Amino acid sequence: MEVIHPSVKRARLDAAADPDAYWAGQAEGLPWFRHWDRVFDWTPPTFRWFEGGLTNLAYNAVDHHVLHGRAGHAALIGLHESGERRTFTYAQLLDEVKRVARGLRGLGVRRGDRVAIYMPTMAEAIFAMLACARIGAIHIVIFAGFGGSALAQRVRLAGAKVLLTADRTQRKGKTIWLMPIVEKALEQMQVEKVVVLRRGEGQPDLAAGRDIDWPDFLAGGEGQSDAYEQMESNEPAYILATSGTTASPKLAVHVHGGYSVGIHSAARVVFGMKPDDVWWSTSDIGWVVGHSYIVYAPLLVGATTIAYEGAIDYPSPNAFYRIVERERVSGIFTAPTAVRMLMAHGTQAAEGCDFSGLERVFSAGEVLNPPAWEWMQKELFQDRIPVIDHWWQTETGGPVMANPWGIGLSPIKPGAAGLPIPGCFCEVRTPEGEPVPDGEKGILVLTRPFPSLTPTIWEDPDRYASEYWSRIPGVYFTGDAVHRDEDGYIWFSGRADEIIKIAGHRIGTMEVETAFLRNPAVAEAGVTGRPDALRGEVVSAFIVLRAGHLPSEEMKVQLLRTVREELGALVVVGEINFVHSLPKTRSGKIMRRVFKAVILKMDPGDISTIEDEGSVEDARAAWQEMQGQIDG
């Protein structure tokens, strides 16, 4: 029996027969000021899509809808955990974007200049992103949870002229002051101007000559032009540092043309996004998901997008469900860490909340472990709507592996990220580049560029060539360990360099973590390999128990039994450490190298060649925290 939905099968076959024609067809769905001369030019290691085409990401996202009868449709709903709610129609959004565009021009920002945005997920930050794209300036958003060194490092790498910031953000009711962090960063970086959005009471003083108050910044743009620039398809729209699961930060480049086409196509093919959707990505504008699926793609589609500043379980565990109910959210994009957090609160947190408007939920960022998937799909949603895992990276701009709900849902296999979407092509290879048969583990490579794939690293084309296209010559190296099953689904087992080798068997970190999560006492699990004289490596596990369960020797025995039942005797667990939280990256991914540093009693900075100041800071802090928990 054919497993894959017939429409998906057809789309994949059509795209495979003529990928350029497929992507040209997808590009026709967006406005162009000038049609491209050539769909695709691949001159390794880089490539160009829609060459000669003139377009503008921000025009397509905002002006186009205003000009086509949708001026009054809600574009953006800005929510704050305190309960503040602001909505902007497409016409209002356009006005706001134009104001910021004039302000930027008033500061002397021109096409090609870089503008750093160190702000939480709030409306003004989104106006700023769109305003940069509008005038052809290149934005670099830095997650507002990063410290001063990480901020400075990213601003320096980008060579940003101006920094836009907010004086504060809030999380779980706690005010986080951003200005002292900016001050610290300014000791290590140079920008011409700092524009500060001061919010609420107790506003910080501004440094004369350097800082500009947001209202003055807007006023300073009076008389400036707010016209959009016509950008060649391959000109950068923004750059963004990869999140720091890898070595030193790299700035991925995303361009006006290819990126628009790629994320708009995936919005429809994968997410089935449509103009009457109320779309909520629970991510942050500091990450690529925030760029693509809080800001740009929902607006390209003409939908209503929610930008939420705060924690999704604050002020109460039902905060998430209340937003879904109140805003009549129809599509959600979230991450496994959020799903596991909701799971830990249990279905009782959702009692009495109406989410009948919700049609589908997507997750990406890490594997959505089957126990977490089952809880959400079956217990929480009673199988009424699909919960769909899908895979991508900062560099891919949008989804690559998915079960494309928008064109036809194939059976969901919990734990698998789906198939390469139409127009994307992958293979599973050994580190030496040999093909790996179905069912066996290897490294995922992408064999052909697609429009939203980053075509270079900002000012470092050599690094782009060596890190992505040369490890296995001629293909894009994702660094993820996977296997493909008989139906073509791709199963992710973790980063390739985190694979645990027990007596010659290669086990993915995620397989062992999922096995632990099968035990109902477990809220979160993280594992790493520990050297073992006899077996090469054994598993070292870090376990967070759910409320109501206590660490004990008996609990360890129970957990070992669960893992043995799930994975067999092959997986030897050397030790179980009970902890009250796991070390995570700022984007919520488990930092497994911190486990390794803890068990090997090493400095986390030495575990791999991390040069990312943000990551080293995070890893050290997490290491100390872990060490304390374990010693205690």
Under the rule (CB under 6 A), what is the footprint of ligand AMP?
A: 242-243, 245, 288, 364-367, 389-394, 417, 478-480, 492, 495, 587
Q: Are 334 and 282 in contact, with CB atoms under 8 Å apart? A: yes
Least distance (Å) from ligand AMP to the CB of residue 291? 11
Least distance (Å) from ligand AMP to the CB of residue 434? 21
Nearest of 509, 477, 476 to residue 494 by alpha carbon = 509
Least distance (Å) from ligand AMP to the CB of residue 39? 27
Least distance (Å) from ligand AMP to the CB of residue 17? 28
44: Cα within 13 Å, side-chain hemisphere? 11
Rounded Cα gap, residues 293 and 116, in angstroms: 20
Of 161 and 495, nearer to ligand AMP (C-beta) is 495
Least distance (Å) from ligand AMP to the CB of residue 367? 4
Q: How far is CA 169 from the centre of its chain?
A: 20
3-state DSSP assignment of residue 593: helix
Of 241 and 538, nearer to ligand AMP (C-beta) is 241
Other CB atoms within 10 Å distance of the CB of residue 360: 19
- List Cα–Cα distances, 385 to 168, 358, 396, 612, in angstroms: 37, 8, 27, 40
Of 106 and 336, nearer to ligand AMP (C-beta) is 336
Least distance (Å) from ligand AMP to the CB of residue 466? 18
Strand ranges of the sheet holding 278-281, from the earlier edge strand across to the other edge: 85-89, 74-80, 304-309, 278-281, 331-334, 360-363, 387-389
* E strand or H helix that includes residue 621: helix 613-631
Of 318 and 528, nearer to ligand AMP (C-beta) is 528
Of 320 and 392, nearer to ligand AMP (C-beta) is 392
Least distance (Å) from ligand AMP to the CB of residue 366? 5
Tokens of 369: 């472990």
Q: Looking at 350-442, list the stretches that DSSP marks H as alpha helix, in order from N- to C-terminal side.
A: 370-374
3-state DSSP assignment of residue 402: strand
Q: Are strands 54-55 and 387-389 parallel, antiparallel or unpaired?
A: unpaired
Rounded Cα gap, residues 444 and 427, in angstroms: 6
Handedness of CA 607, 613, 616, 620 (dihedral sign): positive
Least distance (Å) from ligand AMP to the CB of residue 619? 15
Least distance (Å) from ligand AMP to the CB of residue 307? 19
Of 279 and 392, nearer to ligand AMP (C-beta) is 392
Of 278 and 417, nearer to ligand AMP (C-beta) is 417
Q: Are 236 and 253 in contact, with CB atoms under 8 Å apart? A: yes
3-state DSSP assignment of residue 113: coil
Of 76 and 388, nearer to ligand AMP (C-beta) is 388
Of 268 and 390, nearer to ligand AMP (C-beta) is 390
Q: Map tokens 């750059």 to a residue.
A: 239
